[in-house]
């Protein structure tokens, strides 16, 4: 299996950003780590090994990226407005640095997104905000309301970064038409702490006539890596 480490200085973020690419061809998928996790987490937790056959066959190519959770929503000593601004800068990094890199490496102008736990939030919000670029979204054990991080602060940008808030009011045909063309897979476990959030997100997609699939795993499935490993093998790409 091809494994390639990449690092470059992001002028938009004012810091180095790291990632690892797995696979040589196939559908490109951006992988977001869990809360405050690192770009190598997906490999360390056995997720890449679970997808080895698909990676070797050239059916999927993973781009495991870094996030800025410690500088954004988990930065408790930073004002909520500054956290939002930093996240919006991270979004610009994804759009204008990561996506061109993916296109250069893979040839595709679009990509899928996936993540577990808080990584699922990143995947969902990017797929909803940019359905022309991120055309498939697979979430596992996700919760999508970021208001709990903002200490009561609320403005337009906070609203537009919180899918449970903005999705019910989404009426723009450009967004809805593209979202309805894309692939949405929401996965959780019957005992997952984020099961209610995932099921609520699925209901919101239904209200907007956005085709999707919701999968609730049984057998006591919880919010943890052993479950996500099996889910990844089942639903990615």
Domain CATH code at residue 142? 3.40.50.1820
For the chain, residues with pLDDT lower than 70 are none
**Pairwise CA distance, residues 121 & 67, whole Å:** 12
219: left (phi over 0), alpha (psi -120 to 50) or beta: left
What are the tokens at 208?
């907007």
| Residue 131 confidence (pLDDT) | 98
Number of Cβ atoms within 10 Å of the Cβ of 209: 9
* 21 touches 62 (CB < 8 A): yes
| Residue 213 confidence (pLDDT) | 98
| Residue 26 confidence (pLDDT) | 97
| Residue 97 confidence (pLDDT) | 98
| Residue 79 confidence (pLDDT) | 97
pTM metric for this prediction: 0.97
* 144 touches 126 (CB < 8 A): no
**φ/ψ (deg, to 5) at 168:** -60, -25
Number of domains in the chain: 1
| Residue 96 confidence (pLDDT) | 98
Domain of 76?
A: 3-235
Per-residue pLDDT of 113-166, as tens digits, reads 999 999 999 999 999 999 999 999 999 999 999 999 999 999 999 999 999 999
């Amino acid at each position: 299996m091809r494994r390639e480490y990449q690092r470059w200085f992001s002028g938009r973020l004012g810091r180095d950003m790291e990632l690892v690419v797995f696979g040589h061809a196939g559908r490109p998928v951006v992988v977001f780590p869990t809360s405050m996790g690192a770009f190598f987490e997906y490999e360390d937790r056995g997720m890449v090994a679970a997808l080895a056959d698909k990676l070797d066959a050239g059916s999927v190519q993973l781009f495991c990226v870094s996030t800025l959770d410690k500088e954004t929503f988990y930065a408790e000593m930073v004002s909520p407005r500054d956290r939002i601004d930093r996240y919006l800068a991270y979004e610009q990094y994804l759009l204008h640095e990561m996506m061109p890199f993916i296109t250069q490496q893979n040839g595709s102008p679009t990509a899928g997104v996936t993540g577990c736990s808080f990584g699922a939030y990143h995947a969902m919000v990017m797929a909803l905000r940019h359905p022309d670029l991120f055309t498939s979204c697979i979430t596992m054990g996700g919760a999508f309301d970021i208001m709990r991080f903002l200490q009561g602060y609320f403005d337009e940008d906070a609203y537009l970064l919180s899918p449970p808030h903005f999705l019910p009011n989404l009426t723009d045909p450009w967004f809805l038409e593209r979202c309805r063309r894309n692939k949405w897979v929401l996965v959780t476990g019957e005992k997952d702490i984020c099961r209610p959030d995932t099921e609520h997100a699925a209901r919101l997609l239904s209200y907007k006539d956005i085709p999707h699939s919701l999968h609730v795993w049984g057998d006591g499935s919880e919010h943890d890596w052993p479950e996500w490993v099996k889910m990844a093998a089942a639903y990615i790409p």
